[in-house]
Every structure is written in structure tokens, then in C-alpha cells.
Amino acid sequence: RAIFTPAAKAAAGEHDENISYDRVVEIVGPKLAQQIRETSIAIYETAAAIALTKGMIIADTKFEFGLDEKGTLVLMDEVLTPDSSRYWPVEGYEQALADGSNPPSYDKQFVRDWLEAVRINGKPWDKTPPAPRLPKDVIDKTAAKYREALERLTG
């Protein structure tokens, strides 16, 4: 069963803040909080079932919601892309689980890992802008992962 792990938007450049469901209720009220949770889980479960038929597991994803001028809940921003989701191939998943490691993924983790490992003047990047320029091989490998995910999901 899917779980709902809400977060609140942070200031530009900051990481979103994980919050409890009770905090969501405090912010938006019980009715809207329930609607957001139920909608999120329904979208995820539908997408996860489709992805599974294509040999992919959606390990996690994020959805962003807002309200239109009438107060109707609206799904916003990107949805189920490798930038907002972690996709794993079914093959190799069980072995990775048994090994206690992460399965190979089709997401931006490759870029994150490179940014964690890069050294600027002998020191780790402190995560303040500007970000280090990504080398062509990192860009190419990330693009290839994204294309492979697209082909697996739509092919």
C-alpha cells in the first residue's frame, strides 16, 4: 500500500520541509487534507500499476497541488517524471533488496551523486549557487537514463 508523506514548500533554493499529516490538516483543514492525500495515493497507485506492467517500479514520487480561483484542488507542476520520481527496473530489485543496496534507478540520483563527490578547490561543493558545471559525460548518462525510462514506460 502506498504511503502519503507530505512536505511544505520551502523558500527558493531551500529543500521542502517534511511535515506530518496533522500539520497538513492544520494548514489546509481536514477536508482538503483528506482530498490531497486520497488524490495523491490514487494517482500513485494507478501509475505504479501501469509502470509495473512495463517492468518498472515507482519507488517514490512527488505531486504538487494548488487551488484554482474557485478553490478547487489542482495538480500542478511536473508529474511522474524522472526529476520528480524514482523509477527502478523490476529486474535486479529483489537482489538489491537482499544485498541491502539500492536498485539501479532512472532518476536524477546520478547527478546528485556526482555533485556530492565533486571537489572545488579540493573541497566538497557547499551547495550554494552557482552549482558546479556538469561534465558532458554526466549529462549524457543522465539523458540516456531518462530516455531509457521513457522507452520502457511508453514502448
pLDDT in tens, 91-113: 989 999 999 998 988 888 889 89
Angstrom distances, CA of residue 85 to CA of 36, 40, 47, 70, 111: 18, 13, 11, 29, 14
- Has residue 33 got a pLDDT over 80? yes
> If you search the block for the grid coordinates 547527478, which residue do you land on?
111
- Per-residue pLDDT averaged across 57-81, rounded? 95
Strand partners, 119: 124
> How many C-beta neighbours within 10 Å does residue 26 have?
12
Closest CA to 138 of 120, 113, 119: 113
CATH of the domain at 120: 3.30.470.20
Query: Please, which pLDDT band fits residue 128 given cuts at 50, 70 and 90?
Result: confident
- The predicted structure's pLDDT at residue 20: 97
pTM equals: 0.85
On whether residue 1 sits in a domain, the answer given is no
> pLDDT band at residue 27, thresholds of 50, 70 and 90?
very high
With residue 11 as reference, give the H or E element that holds it.
Answer: none
Contact 69, 43 (CB under 8 A): no
Mean pLDDT on 50-72: 96
* Out of 8-17, 19-28, 146-155, least confident range: 8-17
Domain that holds residue 71: 7-154
Q: How confident is the model at residue 145 (pLDDT cuts 50, 70, 90)?
A: very high
Residue 146's identity, in one-letter code, is Y
In a domain, 2, yes or no: no
- Count up the domains in the chain and report the number: 1
pLDDT of residue 1: 82
